[in-house]
Amino acid sequence: MTENVIETENLTKFYGERCAVYRVNLRVPRGVVYGFLGPNGAGKSTTIGMLVGCLRPTYGKVRIFGLDVFRHRTKIMERVGYLPEKPVAYRNMRVEEFLEYMGRLEGLSRGEAREKARELLGFVGLGRLAMKKVETLSAGERQRLGFAQALIGDPELLILDEPTSNLDPVARFEILSKIRWLASKKGVTTFISSHVIPEVSRVSDYVGIINNGSLIAQGHITDLVAQEEDEYIVRVSDPKRLIDRLRERDYVLEVVSEGKDGVRLKVDINNAHNLWIELPELLVEERLALYEFKPIGDPLEKLFLRKLGVFQ
């Protein structure tokens, strides 16, 4: 049985005359990492604001764990960890003290809150800053603290609004690995917004693409990108021979040599499966050794750009 942890129905938000989110129908299955991808101003934060009950929709519904967010907000939020785009923390508190305090607000005892705060500071890589004042943290460190805060109540669902936007590449890698770990090992469903395509393609199982307030694609990442992979590099022992043979195929749009032993190949996306069937046969017939076969580029990026009308 597939159960959706988040479901929205024609979710719509107008700021005065300006439409920020229009008829969005999200489907987020339990246990997945769902990447909510869109350029700046697309409507990601507005959508998330409505998911967590901070913003009232102009029209439409949000159900989390099958419950209406506006009727059961407190009950739902007990099971949700939320990291806002600009995390807020009490500036005068010390880092560990702040997390402990948040744990107490989540209903943990003093001892539990302290233990959990220590554990999470280690988990997000802030252990050595435990005694620093929150106001002295850099933007990236504050984002790590926000991530820890989102985790303090052991949530079943994490909603993270651009959690890596202020992080350097190493910290970004670390936090994304933690998100994957939480999903795989603890079954935490994660909804993460981002405008960074490679990041979404690395961390997500499901993807939703939003542009100008509308959801323009949604689904399992493998299904979504299956139709996007149309360029390959093939390295073989005799590239000229392979080029001659591939030229005669009608599904091959372009085939040129690349480097010492490479062949660069563009296929007609609607008949691309023919390549998978025929290439091994060709290699055997021509007695060619295969050194490498790999797609070129990030298929999610191709999908994203095509959906946004940037090319094709």
Binding residues (CB under 5 A) for Mg ion: these are 44-45, 85
CB neighbour class for 21 (10 Å; exposed up to 12, middle 13-18, buried from 19): buried
Binding-site partner at residue 46 among ligand ADP, Mg ion, none, CB < 5 to 8 Å by type = ligand ADP
Pairing of strands 189-194, 80-83: unpaired
User: Which among 295, 299, 281, 302 is positioned nearest to 234, based on CA atoms?
Assistant: 295
CB neighbour class for 18 (10 Å; exposed up to 12, middle 13-18, buried from 19): exposed
Written as one letter, the residue type at 265 is L
Tokens 């939703």: give the residue: 208
Interface with ligand ADP includes 87 (CB under 6 A)?
Answer: no
Interface with ligand ADP includes 291 (CB under 6 A)?
Answer: no
| Pick 45 or 190: Cβ nearer ligand ADP | 45
Contact 47, 56 (CB under 8 A): no
Q: What is the DSSP string of 108-142?
A: --HHHHHHHHHHHHHHTT-GGGTTSBGGGS-HHHH
Contact 12, 58 (CB under 8 A): yes
Interface with ligand ADP includes 15 (CB under 6 A)?
Answer: yes
CB of 157 to ligand ADP, least distance (A): 19
| Pick 43 or 153: Cβ nearer ligand ADP | 43
Binding-site partner at residue 15 among Mg ion, ligand ADP, none, CB < 5 to 8 Å by type = ligand ADP
| Pick 45 or 166: Cβ nearer ligand ADP | 45
The distance between the two most distant Cα atoms of the chain, rounded to a whole number of Å, is 74
Binding residue for ligand ADP, selected from 20, 113, 150, 182, defined by CB under 6 A: 20
Query: What CA–CA distance (Å, rounded) separates 306 from 312?
Result: 6
Interface with ligand ADP includes 57 (CB under 6 A)?
Answer: no
The residue number whose beta carbon is nearest to Mg ion equals 45
Binding-site partner at residue 42 among Mg ion, ligand ADP, none, CB < 5 to 8 Å by type = ligand ADP
Binding residue for ligand ADP, selected from 12, 46, 166, 201, defined by CB under 6 A: 46
Encoding tokens for residue 58?
Answer: 């102009």
Binding-site partner at residue 8 among ligand ADP, Mg ion, none, CB < 5 to 8 Å by type = none
Site map 21..40 versus ligand ADP, x via CB under 6 A: -----------------x-x
Footprint of ligand ADP (CB under 6 A)? 15, 18, 20, 38, 40-46
